[in-house]
Structure 1
Amino acid sequence: MTLAALWTYQKERFPLAKTAPLLAIFSAASVCVSAQLSARPLPGWGAFVAGFIIAMMLFFQMRVCDEYKDLEDDKQFRPDRPIPRGLVSLGLIIWLGVGTLPITALAAWLWHPPVLWLLALVWLWLAAMTTEFGVPQWLKARPVLYLLSHMAIMPLIDLLLTGLEWMRGGGAASGLWMFLALSFVNGCVLEIGRKLWAPVNEIAGVDSYSKLWGPVKAALVWWVLVALSCGLLAGVGAATGVFWVSVILGGAGACLCGASAWAYAKAPTPKAETRMDTVAGLWVFACYAIAGFAPFIARGA
């Protein structure tokens, strides 16, 4: 096994160039929003470092769990993926995932040991997800419920990340639920957005939302979720004093997302498929950037 093989694996299955910036914004925004909602000063830099490490480790652990539970399907339907084609072994990836567990726990403990309780909650849900909650066939036969149950980990992760601020700062703000709901909806936006495929790219035996609902309905569902996300962003903005900034910036972004969804629905080509995946990521990135940092920029102005 060479480092080159691991480098190829990360490019295909956990692309750091795309993942690290998104998680840096996600984790930092979570800490900032928690402080803003509670009208508290920002915590020390250690909270932001801990948040980024925890986010990176958790999302890699989620990838490892996916590799484990999807291996048989990948062997049958997606043999070109790194593990089925023999680039790396499942055992190696699992050991790498196990190796991130103490790093995650240490990052939480060094900042504020009680945060470990929230980390344990995330790990418990991740374990349940990996076993498909004990009913894999029943759950897979219900794609919407499957999506909702798996995306529930997003607000749990955000509860953990915001907890780096509020557990040490004196308690969570009453408006925190809006930010957690935003994370849940944005998780759905990302997940559906990456599975809106061109008909020529559909894979037999592999579920996609474009196959489940058809390109037109799937694009509509995706954009409705973007609109809901935009509404929650405005709610967070109202609670942190930047309602109109959130409405204007979020509304502009939602319109661009709508244009992409419309183009995909009219012509679900491979190019449109790639655009939807990219736009979904950019929308989520923009949401957290606006929610987390717009209040500071507005006050500075």
Structure 2
Amino acid sequence: MSQKHASEGSLSLVQRLWIYQAERIPLAKTATLLAVFSAASVNVSAFLADRALPGWGAYATAFLVSLIIFIQLRACDELKDAEDDRRYRPERPVPRGLVSLRVILTLGAALVPVAVLITLGYHPPLLLLLGLVWLWLALMTVEFFAPKWLKARPVLYLVSHMAIMPLLDLFVTGAEWLPANGGPAPTLVLFLILSFVNGCVLEIGRKIWTPENEREGVDSYSRLWGIPSAVSIWMVLLALSFGLLVGVGHATGHLIATALPGLIMLLGAFWIGAAMRKAPTDKRQQWLDTVSGLWVFVCYTAAGFAPLVVGWAS
């Protein structure tokens, strides 16, 4: 244990939790991204159904509960990956002793009634959609009761875990459509599929590594498929995501305003992907990870805010 890590034992619990969040779920960055994601999703739900935007309660509920769910996702990951982290990633906060697994799980559990109260205070029927998200999260945590079988099938593992993204987006958009008399627009399914594909883009993009960065016991898509194939699959998912974004833009009646930012970002992402596929380097690996996050940010920003910009400009 390094001197730095040894000194962490003298810190208060609040100080240790602050270090934990900075390493495992940076709240400033995460909150910013979730604010864009939740607000854009609420907006898209209204645009697709040709309804006026809802009041602030829909946005606040969608954002706060999304943030809670992401914190709980991290807590469940700590439980699910505890043995692998102990063996292969001892530098992480829980295995190195910064905070105990019990503390993290207790924090995640303590946020359950908070999310329930927030949802009840806004629109009680929304609890059903929140329950679906938590049910899937629980199944993910126990690896759907078949951990060895599932881990031996990496694509199915990816699909099963990324399915929580459209479920979360169903809750978030539900903050708009559930209180409305008309319900969800049929074309909302395009946006939900977009959330699923973008989750896959993020997951694959952050696990394509150069050979020297591969670690024993840590799964990666570059090890599974090889770097050229992994990057190619990532690029195909980007193209599929762009196609869905175009579909959402067409459905909202703002095709060009929605598609143009996505096209610019897509071309930049393809350029970085082609460079990584040709000659993998640490810098290109980092750019691939960063661009994956930027792509998702641009998708939601374009879908959820481009129609507003067009309306204000006209």
Answer yes or no: same fold by TM over 0.5.
yes
CA positional deviation for 1:246: 2.1
Residue identity opposite 1:129 in structure 2? M
Q: Which residue matches 1:260?
A: 272
CA positional deviation for 1:4: 2.1
Alpha-carbon distance between aligned partners in 1 of 2:111 and 2:286, rounded to the nearest angstrom: 31
Alpha-carbon distance between aligned partners in 2 of 1:5 and 1:199, rounded to the nearest angstrom: 33
Question: SS at the partner of 2:96?
Answer: coil
Alpha-carbon distance between aligned partners in 2 of 1:66 and 1:231, rounded to the nearest angstrom: 31
Q: Which residue matches 1:191?
A: 203
1:110 to 103, 121, 127: 121
Stretch moving more, 12-21 or 58-67: 12-21
1:94 to 99, 105, 108: 105
Q: 1:84-109 CA distances to partner (integer Å, 9 max, x unpaired)?
A: 01111000000110111111111111
Contact 2:259–2:302 under 8 Å retained in 1: no
Q: Which residue matches 1:140?
A: 151
Question: SS at the partner of 2:277?
Answer: helix
Alpha-carbon distance between aligned partners in 2 of 1:149 and 1:98, rounded to the nearest angstrom: 23
Dislocated runs of 4+, deviation >3 Å: none
CA positional deviation for 1:16: 1.4
Alpha-carbon distance between aligned partners in 2 of 1:109 and 1:291, rounded to the nearest angstrom: 28
1:18 to 10, 21, 29: 29
Q: Which residue matches 1:29?
A: 40
Q: Which residue matches 1:238?
A: 250
Identity of paired residues, percent? 57
Q: 1:110-150 CA distances to partner (integer Å, 9 max, x unpaired)?
A: 11000000000111111111110010000000000000000
Contact 2:248–2:303 under 8 Å retained in 1: yes
Q: Which residue matches 2:178?
A: 167
Question: SS at the partner of 2:94?
Answer: coil
1:156 to 167, 180, 187: 167
2:53 to 22, 35, 42: 42
Supply the RMSD in Å over aligned alpha carbons.
0.9
Question: SS at the partner of 1:235?
Answer: helix
Alpha-carbon distance between aligned partners in 2 of 1:200 and 1:267, rounded to the nearest angstrom: 13
Residue identity opposite 1:226 in structure 2? L
Residue identity opposite 2:165 in structure 1? M
CA positional deviation for 1:17: 2.5
Question: SS at the partner of 1:125?
Answer: helix
CA positional deviation for 1:186: 0.3
Alpha-carbon distance between aligned partners in 2 of 1:230 and 1:73, rounded to the nearest angstrom: 35
2:62 to 27, 48, 51: 51
Matched residues, number? 301
Contact 1:199–1:269 under 8 Å retained in 2: no
Contact 1:23–1:56 under 8 Å retained in 2: yes
Alpha-carbon distance between aligned partners in 2 of 1:16 and 1:64, rounded to the nearest angstrom: 14
2:134 to 95, 119, 123: 123
Q: Which residue matches 2:4?
A: none
Q: Which residue matches 2:220?
A: 208
CA positional deviation for 1:214: 0.8
Alpha-carbon distance between aligned partners in 1 of 2:241 and 2:53, rounded to the nearest angstrom: 25
Contact 1:74–1:84 under 8 Å retained in 2: yes
Larger radius of gyration: 2
Alpha-carbon distance between aligned partners in 2 of 1:245 and 1:93, rounded to the nearest angstrom: 42
Question: SS at the partner of 1:168?
Answer: coil
Alpha-carbon distance between aligned partners in 1 of 2:312 and 2:26, rounded to the nearest angstrom: 34
CA positional deviation for 1:272: 1.3
Unaligned runs of 5+ in 2: 1-11
Unaligned runs of 5+ in 1: none
